[in-house]
């Protein structure tokens, strides 16, 4: 199975560089990455679910705006969640043909921020939703406002909104970005999945530019309050804007140091049809750490829910 690369121009002019596997015309699975990643992190799952014995899906993973070869608008306001939703909704329509809906949307980290919003606003665009270590905005806002642990765990966000963040992240061969992967509860400085080949793929994404990723943080108020920036303390979101009726599976690595497991408490208040898969011994980077298990859980959900 080979990975296909293509650029998709959307009706509103944004171009998303995409990776895909599987025959066009089949049911579509779409995969959304986070920061500081790119669409390549899904290659194993693209190839897995494209195989006939695993459903024969058409699998598509775009680079979000601002990442790798996708359009990278200059203005911070162009990275607000509604813009990500606009991009993904338009991409879904280009990829699903007459069906008009994904078999499932699978998302991690910032991709999940877009996916939660999309499932609330445009649920008809997907039959199922899979979220991997990406906080629901309702529980995230609750924890950012009231949990010192979450505020401390999310303090890195206030670094990423600095005007010099891109320059600092690029220093010393991206030293600070590599630390995202090696700063874990286990203190593993050399995770087995972070091979030279994978490092080269990450460098390719980062060499293309870091402003898109940083602008996602700058454009969102969901970050820890500070004396000079009240951030999440000023945010109120109606319950109606947070509910998800799409059948949803949430896979959560419990060793995520940035997103503690309190974020999955109370999810049932927002998601009416929820399957929760907590995973001990897995971190935020569970897609790299446990690809076979993630594929199994997603496959079982697609077949039996």
116 within 8 A of 137, measured Cβ to Cβ: yes
Instruction: Report the pLDDT value the prediction gives residue 297, as an integer from 0 to 100.
Output: 98
Can you give the residue range of the structural domain that contains 169? Answer: 4-304
DSSP codes of every residue in 15-72: EEEEEEES-TTS-EEEEE--TT--GGGGHHHHHHHHSGGGT--EEEEEPPTTSTTS--
Instruction: Report the pLDDT value the prediction gives residue 235, as an integer from 0 to 100.
Output: 78
139 within 8 A of 263, measured Cβ to Cβ: yes
| Domain CATH for 147 | 3.40.50.1820
How distant, in Å, are the alpha carbons of 18, 119, 143, 155, 252 from that of 222?
A: 28, 19, 10, 11, 20
Count Cα atoms within 13 angstroms, Cβ side, for 221: 11
Instruction: Report the pLDDT value the prediction gives residue 227, as an integer from 0 to 100.
Output: 79
37 within 8 A of 60, measured Cβ to Cβ: no
Residue 225, exposed/middle/buried by CB under 10 A (0-12, 13-18, 19+)? middle
Instruction: Report the pLDDT value the prediction gives residue 187, as an integer from 0 to 100.
Output: 59
Write out the two tokens for 126. Answer: 């997907």
Residue-wise pLDDT for 200-250, tens only, equals 999 999 999 999 999 999 999 888 888 777 777 887 899 999 999 999 999
Domains in the chain: how many in total? 1
The parts of the chain modelled with pLDDT lower than 70 are 184-189
Overall pTM > 0.75: yes
């Amino acid at each position: 199975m080979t990975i296909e690369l293509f650029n998709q121009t959307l009706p509103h002019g944004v171009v998303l560089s995409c990776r895909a596997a599987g025959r066009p015309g089949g049911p579509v699975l779409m995969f959304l990455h986070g920061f500081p990643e790119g669409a390549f992190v899904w290659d194993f799952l693209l190839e897995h679910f494209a195989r006939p014995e695993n459903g024969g899906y058409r699998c598509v993973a775009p680079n979000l705006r601002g990442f790798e070869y996708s359009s990278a608008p200059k203005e911070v306001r162009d990275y607000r969640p509604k813009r990500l939703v606009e991009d993904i909704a338009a991409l879904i329509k280009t990829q699903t043909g007459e069906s008009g809906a994904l078999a499932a949307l699978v998302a991690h980290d910032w991709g999940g921020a877009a996916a939660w919003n999309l499932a609330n606003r445009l649920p008809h665009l997907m039959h199922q939703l899979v979220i991997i270590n990406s906080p629901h905005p309702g529980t995230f806002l609750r924890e950012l406002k009231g949990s010192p642990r979450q505020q401390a765990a999310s303090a890195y966000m206030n670094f990423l909104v600095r005007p010099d963040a891109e320059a600092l992240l690029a220093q010393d061969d991206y030293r600070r970005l590599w630390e995202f992967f090696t700063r874990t509860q286990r203190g593993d400085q050399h995770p087995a999945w972070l091979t030279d080949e994978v490092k080269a793929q990450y460098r390719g994404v980062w060499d293309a530019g870091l402003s898109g990723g940083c602008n996602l943080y700058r454009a969102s108020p969901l970050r820890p309050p500070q004396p000079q920036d009240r951030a999440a303390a000023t945010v109120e979101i109606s319950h109606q804007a947070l509910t998800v009726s799409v059948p949803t599976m949430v896979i959560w690595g419990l060793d995520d140091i940035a997103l503690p497991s309190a974020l999955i408490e109370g999810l049932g208040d927002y998601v009416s049809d929820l399957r929760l898969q907590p995973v001990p011994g897995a971190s935020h980077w569970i897609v790299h750490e446990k690809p076979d298990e993630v594929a199994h859980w997603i496959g079982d959900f697609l077949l039996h829910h």
